[in-house]
Amino acid sequence: MRYQTLVRKAALVLAVSILGACGDDDTEQPTAEGWTPPAIPANPNITPATKPVPVDLRFDRLLYASGSSARVTLALPEGATTEATMAVAVASPDSKDAEMLTLERTADGTYATAKGLPIDDSAPVKPQDGTLRVAPGELIYAMFVVEPTMPGLEDAGAGLVADFAIIQSAPLTISDLLLPELALTDDENLSLPGARPVGTLLREGTLPVQVATSEVILHTKSQAELDRFLEVAGGELIDTLPGDDDVYATHLLKVDPSQAKPESLGQLRALFGESDELLASNEQALQILAL
């Protein structure tokens, strides 16, 4: 569970002083429509925002398969604008392809793509042709330039808000990660009435850890963050626990780990530099880790 949650938070708000052109050199490459596609430079000057930014930009998922379509949503502070559309750039720093998406205003005031952006690893690299060329295993970025003249964004604390997603590569074989003998207690593979399901995880060079496989503890800064997690993960709030400070609220949630994709754990772990062997006593333990 920690992977997808931390990945999202790490990418949501980036302050970028200069965006490089979409290419390997320092020249801009305008398209036929007169739009210069942005990209992440080889050595970008990126610093995290020092305070919460009132802009929420999200892909509709963290992992996309090649051949699928990406969708993006954008939420601005109430009263920031009444424009019918907003523009968001989506780019692949590996292929150098980029697309400018038009997001339409919805009934609740947020903005969303009217149709998905096709992802194709065999498409030509042609910015603004309606298809994003990106290969399995690579990342894509959605970027929204913060306009400080908008009400509510005068002191936003960031020049750019971004989110990223991963293009799925070859999936892991789950059976290769399972070792039932790892179970720390005999009840891990039993379904007892009223019992809390558990499983054991073991990383190479560490001690085994038993984890609950249908519950998570989530720390949030706002009710909106909690609502978003419950919406995406299909969770249910069990209790709100006393926090250590006034910034974060701590929630105990019941979740359904079966909707997670443990076969993508290799890519998720790689984002954190983890390449050591991972084993689990049951599949549910892998699912809760991937949630």
Both 13 and 92 in a single domain? Answer: yes
Both 278 and 193 in a single domain? Answer: yes
> Mean pLDDT across the stretch 207-233?
87
Structure tokens at 280: 């689990």
Both 89 and 132 in a single domain? Answer: yes
Measured distance CA(250)–CA(264) in Å, rounded: 27
> Mean pLDDT across the stretch 8-26?
34
pLDDT bin (cut points 50, 70, 90) of residue 10 is: very low
* Radius of gyration of the chain, Cα coordinates, nearest whole angstrom: 21
Q: Which of 167, 196, 228 is the last residue of a domain?
A: 167
Domain count, the chain: 2
Instruction: Please give the pLDDT value at position 153.
Output: 78
Instruction: Please give the pLDDT value at position 198.
Output: 93
Angle at 100 between CA 111 and CA 137, to 5 degrees: 100
Lowest-pLDDT range, 22-31, 35-44, 121-130, 140-149? 22-31
Instruction: Please give the pLDDT value at position 24.
Output: 40
Instruction: Please give the pLDDT value at position 245.
Output: 66
Instruction: Please give the pLDDT value at position 23.
Output: 37
Q: Which of 167, 190, 222 is the last residue of a domain?
A: 167
The type of residue at 11 is A
Both 123 and 145 in a single domain? Answer: yes
**231 is in which domain, residue-wise?**
174-290
Both 138 and 247 in a single domain? Answer: no
Both 33 and 101 in a single domain? Answer: yes
Both 75 and 198 in a single domain? Answer: no
Both 158 and 45 in a single domain? Answer: yes
**In the predicted model, what is the mean pLDDT of the chain?**
81
Both 234 and 150 in a single domain? Answer: no
Both 157 and 248 in a single domain? Answer: no
Q: Which of 115, 146, 167 is the last residue of a domain?
A: 167
